[in-house]
């Protein structure tokens, strides 16, 4: 499947998982749900990929560990941010991370121009609001950390995607998420008790982990092996675009006005980045 199609699947599963997660915010603290999502995903990926059967170098384990901590922190800080900021504002600010990656690593005007157009599209699609609650400062700090982690996720993820033996980046992802969950456990595991005693809640947490972490992050590891970091950053703009399309098809919430302009911007950015990918096939990695 082409990379944009993989991102569509990734976006669909992420937003389905997010819909489930929102309903649990009254039961568990948002950052605890984010940590549980990472921890359960680590268990699921570990059972699936069985990374202990792969021979690892110290450098590969170190890179996976750092990647996992960054990934886990990205999830937790984003959940903290959206408990204090409007969702659209948080999404737009967090996209500064991919923009920075594309600006620094982009090769030529296509990749840099594509991320600029994509950023405009994300802002228009996100529905940015200047209204903020009393915890706005806390939310802004959290989303700034999430943006930095997102940039690190892209750069480290491309490196980690080359590891993991025959299983590639997905096996490395299993190791990474295990490290991330362990490092953050002292901060969030204490509030996770209800998920261990309530079977229905536990099942919902598993669903969130599979839909919002296992499937999308595994697909992104495949994409990261195929494209440059800058192109991957542009493709991330498809996530809010996918949300808009899903809302139109499933909920009959048809985009209009600035949302249509945002969708057009994302489409133009994808076409620009596609031209960049055709021009740099020599750097791509073949995926079985």
The answer to the question of residue 192 being in a domain is yes
User: For residue 175, what pLDDT is reported?
Assistant: 93
Range of the domain at 216: 3-283
Look at residue 279 in the predicted model and tell me its pLDDT: 44
For residue 146, tell me if it sits in a domain: yes
What ranges in 127-167 are assigned the alpha helix state H?
136-160
The torsion of the CA quartet 129, 130, 133, 136, rounded to 10 degrees, works out to 110
C-alpha angle 26-24-193 in degrees, rounded to nearest 5: 85
The reply to whether 288 falls in a domain is no
Q: What is the largest CA-CA distance in the chain?
A: 54
| 132: in domain | yes
Fill in the DSSP letter of residue 268.
Answer: H
Which residues, 6 or more positions from 188, have their beta carbon under 8 angstroms from its beta carbon?
31, 32, 34, 35, 36, 76
Residue 60's Cβ-side half-sphere holds a number of Cα atoms within 13 Å equal to 17
**What CA–CA distance (Å, rounded) separates 114 from 268?**
8
Judged on CB neighbours under 10 Å (0-12, 13-18, 19+), 249 is exposed
- Is 134 inside a domain boundary? yes
Report pLDDT digits (tens) over 13-54: 887 887 788 788 889 998 999 999 999 999 999 999 899 888
pTM exceeds cut of 0.85 = no
Given a cut of 50, the residues of the chain with pLDDT beneath it are 166, 278-288
Query: What's the total number of domains in the chain?
Result: 1
Q: Look at the alpha carbons of 23, 26, 31, 37 in this order and tell me if their dihedral is positive or negative.
A: negative
């Amino acid at each position: 499947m082409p990379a944009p199609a993989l991102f569509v699947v990734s976006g669909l599963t992420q937003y389905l998982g997010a819909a489930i997660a929102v309903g649990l915010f009254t039961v568990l603290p948002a950052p605890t749900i984010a940590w549980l999502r990472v921890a359960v995903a680590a268990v699921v990926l570990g059972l699936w990929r069985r990374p202990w059967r792969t021979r690892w170098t110290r450098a590969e384990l170190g890179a996976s560990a750092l990647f996992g901590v960054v990934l886990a922190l990205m999830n937790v800080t984003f959940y903290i941010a959206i408990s204090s900021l409007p969702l659209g504002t948080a999404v737009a600010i967090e996209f500064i991370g991919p923009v920075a990656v594309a600006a620094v690593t982009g090769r030529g005007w296509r990749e840099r121009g594509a991320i600029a157009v994509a950023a405009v599209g994300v802002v228009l699609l996100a529905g940015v609001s200047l209204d903020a609650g009393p915890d706005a400062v806390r939310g802004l700090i959290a989303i700034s950390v999430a943006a930095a982690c997102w940039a690190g996720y892209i750069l480290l993820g491309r490196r980690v995607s080359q590891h993991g033996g025959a299983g590639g980046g997905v096996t490395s992802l299993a190791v990474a998420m295990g490290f991330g969950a362990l490092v953050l456990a002292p901060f969030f595991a204490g509030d996770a008790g209800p998920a261990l005693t309530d079977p229905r809640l536990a099942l919902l947490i598993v669903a969130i982990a599979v839909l919002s972490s296992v499937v999308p992050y595994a697909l992104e590891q495949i994409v990261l092996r195929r494209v440059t970091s800058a192109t991957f950053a542009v493709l991330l703009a498809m996530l809010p675009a996918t949300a808009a399309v899903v809302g139109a098809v499933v909920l009959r919430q048809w985009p209009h006005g600035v949302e249509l302009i945002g969708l057009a911007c994302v489409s133009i950015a994808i076409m620009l980045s596609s031209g960049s990918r055709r021009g740099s096939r020599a750097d791509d990695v073949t995926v079985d």
